[in-house]
Chains A and B, each alone.
Chain A
Amino acid sequence: MTDRISPNCWNWQIKVASWTGGLKLLLAAGSVVVLAGCAAGGPGPGSGAGQNSSGNQQAINGQTKAQGKSNQSVVRGLRGVPKKDLSKFKNPNNPLSKRTIHFAFNSSSIPSRYAKIIRAHAHYLSKHPNVHVRLEGHTDKRGTREYNIALGSRRAKSVKQAMVLAGAKASQISTLSFGEERPAVVGDTKADYAKNRRVVIIYTKH
């Protein structure tokens, strides 16, 4: 325990040398990668997709209160709705105007009060075979990120199953789970958490 052997030190030397080089390369690589990410069709800031997710944010946050307020197609989730039908989706008395289904904690069972809404969308899809939706699953922030991705995916799948049972074609419906990554509201009250546990029906341009 008393002798130190110089080869150890040469180990250190190698480690440190490449660490230093690696760091510099890393820094240089950072900017390159960002560009590559945008060029590869990833939704970079300012691209069409970026706009989409900006609308996304607003729509998610203001979905309930914004309903019927605006006639612009920027209301997130209605881009795939034929123009002639937009008024139905914006009429608060029409069940199609509601596109969010909420869930109990750690559950992917659809509460029965949403049956009417789901049936309305399934019926619309069955009458319009060229229209497509994406079901986006979300959770509250409790628990771990990857488990919540799985839970959000189960919620979206539950809604998909219900819509298929009610007449929509499976090929018209895709799912995407955000887990806890995109809360509808920021906050830690029970009510905030309840608002974040949801599936949102997004009519997509196919």
Chain B
Amino acid sequence: MKRLAIIPHTVIVAAFGLVIASSSADAALKVNITKSSEQAIPIAVVPFKQSSVNASTNVASVVQHDLASTGLFKALPVKDMPAKPHTVSAVNYKSWQKKSVDNLVIGKVSSDSGAGYRLRFHLLSTSPGKAMAGWQIKAGHQSLRGASHVAANLVYKELLGEPGYFQSQLAYVTVTRQKGKRHYKLMVSDYDGHDPSAVFTSSNPIMSPAFSPNGKKLAYVAFNVAKGRTSLRVQDLATGKIQEISSRPGINGAPAWSPDGTKLALTLSYKGNPNIYVYDLNSGKLRQLTHTDGIDTEPTWSANGQKIAFTSNRAGKPQIYRMNNQGGNVTRITYDGVSNQSPVYGPNGKLMAFVRQSKGNGYRVAIRKLNNQHTRIISNGPLDERPSFAPNGQAVIYDEQSGPHSLVIASVKGGTKTRLSQKGHVQDPTWGASAGS
């Protein structure tokens, strides 16, 4: 893993002329990291020199939170740092070795000729003491937080060889009560709950948001109780334009995007029973895949788009089944536990997450390796649901309904949990790629 000397790079976070609308009405989720892993990579992110600029974002603190929240890094608290160098030449490697820190991030933020900020930072290895990489990022006036996530992604990729998820986004539903009335909001935020904005609000339920693979569109279910209908729609996040997919009598639910973004699997019940269909977004054609006289729902596409897994009660209790994307070769794939539901394939084709009900433990999130069927429970229960994978497959977000309803991000490898909460209910999360990717 030896790296050569610094090759300077410039990553530009462009400054846009648009003014960011105030989102003060939409409170950011409160973030709480509850557990960190033992086998994590020790790293210290030294506070950047940013005294010459007027910025509310503490870059190093964002980078440190990003890395630590994955459970794959163990960050040295600022108060335990032997020094706070900003340049490579000022680093005394021995002093960091004594603190068992293997990796060091140092840097500074300066003004960039009126256009915003310039971040310059280095990743150093303390043993032997040397610079592993250096980067420069240009950020617009409003983009310092985004640039900090880019910096964390660069460090993550340098040390782990795979992309991080710090520029990805979440969608979730909040439910608050005012004067006895429920208010539902469909929210989109950064992956860490920052910069939330409402994309749809209603006094009726909103459910099951699902990002298109490129992160630019959101499928979800809205209720119109006055008309006695539900509506499954796709909303373009940049323009706000809504495309109605189905508003048939009965269920219009459980949207799941095919990996190529051209189709939606969904659940409809207008013929009587909830069955799984595939809607082609280009042709508008609808194809029925299952024909149960019970319940078939919660479809999910395998990473290569060849298979669809779903929940069915055809054997009595809900269990997970798999079929090909034409509806053939149906196979039951869960047998352990009391029941299993809400499957979701991981983006890398290696994992599946689902909700397992076990005696005495209620409903917990399970992760299964698809090659050997090894299944591990990663949540505490007893009322957890709606797992959704991070774009790189390294973490899962789910909905924890015991106590104050909140969202939990659990790392797949590290065992670290990050709780996102706010006053009222936060529920039904889904994780999506950065809208720009």
Residues on A facing B (Cβ under 8 Å)? 1-4, 6, 9, 12-34, 36-37, 41-45, 48-50, 52-54, 56-58, 61, 106, 134, 141-147, 149-151, 153-154, 157, 174-179, 181-182, 188, 204
Contacts and interface: CB of A to CB of B under 8 A. Distances in A.
Contacts of A13: 11-12, 14
The list of the 9 closest CB pairs from A to B, nearest first, reads A18-B436, A49-B226, A19-B436, A29-B240, A22-B435, A181-B205, A33-B240, A17-B14, A150-B274
A57 to B, nearest CB: 5
Interface in B197-254: 197-205, 207-208, 216, 222-230, 235, 237-240, 242, 249-251, 253-254
B342 A146 contact: yes
A42 B223 CA distance: 8
Contact of A146 (B18, B20, B235, B253): B253
Contacts of A23: 20, 146, 195, 435
A34 B203 contact: no
Given A24-B16, A36-B242, A145 B295 contact: no
Interface stretch (B49-57, B88-96, B355-363, B415-423): B355-363
B11 A9 contact: yes
B298 interface: yes
Interface stretch (B69-77, B102-110, B180-188): B180-188
B193 interface: no
A27 B240 contact: no
Contact of B167 (A14, A19, A149): A19
Nearest to A52: B226
Given A21-B16, A146-B311, 11 more contacts: A9-B10, A16-B147, A19-B436, A20-B16, A20-B140, A25-B237, A28-B18, A30-B21, A43-B225, A144-B341, A174-B249
Please tell me the size bucket of the interface on B: 35 or more
Contacts, number: 249
A150 B216 CA distance: 28
Main secondary structure of the interface of A (DSSP, over half): helix
Interface in B1-16: 1-4, 7, 9-14, 16
A56 B223 CA distance: 14
B240 A30 contact: yes
Nearest to A157: B272
Given A2-B4, A141-B401, A144-B311, A149 B436 contact: no
A82 B180 CA distance: 28
Nearest to A23: B195
A24 B22 CA distance: 10
A174 B16 contact: no
B224 A18 contact: no
B146 A26 contact: no
A147 B216 contact: no
Nearest to A29: B240
A148 to B, nearest CB: 9
A41 B225 CA distance: 11
Nearest to B275: A150
Interface of B: 1-4, 7, 9-14, 16, 18-21, 23, 133, 140, 142-143, 146-147, 150, 154, 167, 180-183, 188, 195, 197-205, 207-208, 216, 222-230, 235, 237-240, 242, 249-251, 253-254, 267, 269, 272-274, 294-295, 297-298, 311, 313, 317-318, 339, 341-342, 355, 357, 362-363, 383, 385-386, 401-402, 428, 434-437
Contact of B251 (A16, A49, A150): A150
20 contacts: A2-B2, A12-B154, A20-B146, A22-B216, A25-B238, A34-B198, A36-B240, A49-B226, A53-B204, A145-B207, A145-B208, A146-B208, A146-B253, A146-B298, A146-B342, A149-B297, A153-B269, A178-B205, A178-B223, A181-B207
Contact of A26 (B154, B199, B250, B339): B199
A54 B182 CA distance: 8
Nearest to B15: A20
B261 to A, nearest CB: 16
Contacts of A179: 207
A150 B16 contact: no
Contacts of A25: 18, 237-239
